[in-house]
Amino acid sequence: MDNLSRRKALSLGVALGLVGLANPAQAWASTGSAKGAAAGTGPEWIWDDAADPLMVSMLQNGHVPAINTAWESWVDNNDPLPGGLPADFAAYLGRVNRMPSWADPAKLARAADFNRRRDTYLFMLYGLGSGIMSTVIPREAKSVYWSAGGADMQDRAAKTFTFGYDLAELNAFKPDGQFVVTANKTRVVHAAVRHLLPQSPHWRAVADETIPISAADILVTFHSLGTYVHRKLLDWKIPYPPADQEAFLHHWQVAVHLLGVPYEHIPKTWAEAERQAARVLDPILTPSTEGIELAEDLLGLTAQIDLGVTRGFLNEFVRYVLSNEVGDWLGLKRDYAAAALVRTAWPAFILFREGLSPVMPGTFYMFDQFVRALAMLFLNKGSSGKTTPITIPTGNRAA
Ligand code: HEM
């Protein structure tokens, strides 16, 4: 292990709250990532061997603007690769733009159906839970803030929605779906960011790592999305049979793999995912200057849409789905009346909505409008009603 790699591992260990472990890779090894057991081979050591060097060359040779233009028309999984791409970039996409051999079509079909059946809860949990949680994942907050996209959160949020709704669509992984392409575009964006962000003096001043977005970081984000939603559905006692749970995990396994995380590091069961999340996500959540600003941007944006609720309600809902501690970190102003309403009426709303209680709560229509409006926000593809194209950045946020 060279010194640079050791330094990276140690800084990652600190960030993941693993200081005190003799070997940070143990955190991953003990969660079932067998290959992570050996020092230097865990996901915190892995970036993206296939995409990273390619994107350095694309950026350095000025090809990125042409790629962004050429791939605008490349949307469906079965679209041919567009013309106008540099040959080595096209060859790379040709290699990676396919489903992994272990993807199980039956589970993916079930996941798609599950996403449809549960879309309102899912969009709400992803949007207000995972979305705001991302602002208290310090590495994510700092890299998102200081990358080019951080300067325009409305546009960035719309692009992130693209990933969410392409993943949730019934045909997401099928030839006429769009998710495989969206994931591959995202993978390439991440590769570009790994080259660009280290050139930002602002990012370097606050970062605890030399290269952002390792496979370990991607797994942390996966836990803030998939594992978090899985936990909440169980907490809220939403009907969620084992076959749905397995299918939901599987579609995330494929998604994370398409983002470049090697199969052997992806949790194989929810139990394994939970153990990994308890070690690598829960302990690292903490506020940062960047994250506080991003959260305000995101909640400000959401508040612009008519959700039929006040900003105080929104703040309290975020506190309810994340925690008061997170709410305090982010300075979300208290609204105690809304807090009491959320805590008592939301569980009653779920029971009634799921047919588990015959009693319709008086607040049913308010909550119903709220969940529908949030779902529409996603289903309408942001406020514009059309896909926001994912584009590769060529620089960083200026200040
Ligand atoms: C870009 C999703 C993990 C940092 C993107 C984009 C998507 C996305 C859809 C393209 C849209 C955009 O430009 O905003 C995901 C998913 C992840 C993940 C689904 C894991 C499951 C991470 C992690 C980090 C990160 C772990 C950092 C620690 C960034 C940055 C950009 C980006 C800095 C570029 C924004 C720009 O254009 O300036 N990600 N991401 N992402 N992501 Fe991720």
CA distances in angstroms from 35 to 41, 42, 110, 121, 387, listed in the order given: 7, 7, 30, 35, 38
Residue-level pLDDT at 79: 96
| Alpha-carbon span 173 to 121, nearest angstrom | 22
Residue-level pLDDT at 154: 74
> DSSP letters along 319-342, please?
HHHS-HHHHHHTTPPP-HHHHHHH
| Alpha-carbon span 156 to 394, nearest angstrom | 15
Residue holding tokens 């790629």? 67
Residues whose CB is less than 8 angstroms from the CB of residue 363 and which lie 6 or more positions away in sequence, other chains included: 341, 345, 348, 349
**For residue 190, how far is its CA from the centre of ligand 1 (angstroms)?**
6
Which tokens go with 343? 């805590």
**For residue 191, how far is its CA from the centre of ligand 1 (angstroms)?**
10
Residue-level pLDDT at 119: 84
| Alpha-carbon span 259 to 215, nearest angstrom | 9
* DSSP code for 81: P
**For residue 214, how far is its CA from the centre of ligand 1 (angstroms)?**
12
| Alpha-carbon span 125 to 291, nearest angstrom | 19
**For residue 337, how far is its CA from the centre of ligand 1 (angstroms)?**
36
**For residue 189, how far is its CA from the centre of ligand 1 (angstroms)?**
7
Work out the number of other CB atoms within 10 angstroms of the CB of residue 243.
12
Look at ligand 1, atom 35, and give the residue with the nearest C-alpha: 149
Look at ligand 1, atom 29, and give the residue with the nearest C-alpha: 144
For ligand 1, pick from 8, 44, 52, 144 the residue to mutate: most ligand atoms within 8 Å of CB. 144
Look at ligand 1, atom 22, and give the residue with the nearest C-alpha: 218
Interface confidence (ipTM) of the complex: 0.98
| Alpha-carbon span 62 to 194, nearest angstrom | 17
Residue ranges lining ligand 1, Cβ < 6 Å: 139-140, 143-144, 147-149, 156, 159-160, 163, 186, 189-190, 193, 212-213, 217-218, 221-222, 225, 256, 259, 390, 393
Helices 228-235, 242-258: inter-axial angle, 10-degree rounding: 160
Can you list the residues of the chain whose pLDDT is less than 70? 1-40, 378-388
Burial (CB count within 10 angstroms: exposed 0-12, middle 13-18, buried 19+), residue 22: exposed
Ligand 1 closest atom vs CA 397: 38
**For residue 311, how far is its CA from the centre of ligand 1 (angstroms)?**
27
- Phi and psi at 36, nearest 5°, equal -70, -10
For ligand 1, pick from 213, 222, 224 the residue to mutate: most ligand atoms within 8 Å of CB. 213
**For residue 350, how far is its CA from the centre of ligand 1 (angstroms)?**
32
Please check whether residue 220 is in contact with residue 281, taking contact to mean a CB–CB distance below 8 angstroms.
Answer: yes
